[in-house]
Amino acid sequence: MQNLEEKIVKSLQEIKEIVKGLCKIWMNVDECSVYIRMSKNSIFAKTSKHEIPYYRVGKRIIFKTSEIDAWLETNCKVKSNAELETDVSTAILKKGLGGAK
């Protein structure tokens, strides 16, 4: 029973951090890590490659919540089969590989 209670408490703490992040305009690396469920090392790697929107205030790196949301929607979306088929068809037509000439 103790293990179940610990899991519940841990889950509630994670939910609390996520909700807290939703209400914030700006996040630090720790908060962003919890918000998007990505390790801090991965976030630092993405900032060094300029793959994720961020701001530098002195030595601190901060993130604007709305920009992280937009980045997630644009860069992390998994395409459906229909979208993939459309992409393949478009690529084939552009390369002239799609049928009689």
Chain segment 55-92, per-residue pLDDT in tens: 999 999 999 999 999 999 988 778 788 888 888 888 88
| Per-range mean pLDDT, top range of 5-14, 19-28, 76-85, 91-100 | 5-14
User: Could you tell me the CA-to-CA distances from 72 to 37, 48, 54 in Å, in that order?
Assistant: 12, 18, 13
For residue 98, give the DSSP letter: S
- Give the pLDDT score at 65: 92
Bridge partners (DSSP) of residue 55 are 62
State yes or no: pLDDT of 41 exceeds 60: yes
* Nearest residue to 46 via CA among 17, 18, 24, 75: 75
* Nearest residue to 65 via CA among 25, 38, 35, 29: 25
- Give the pLDDT score at 56: 95
Q: How far apart are CA 63 and CA 4, in angstroms?
A: 34
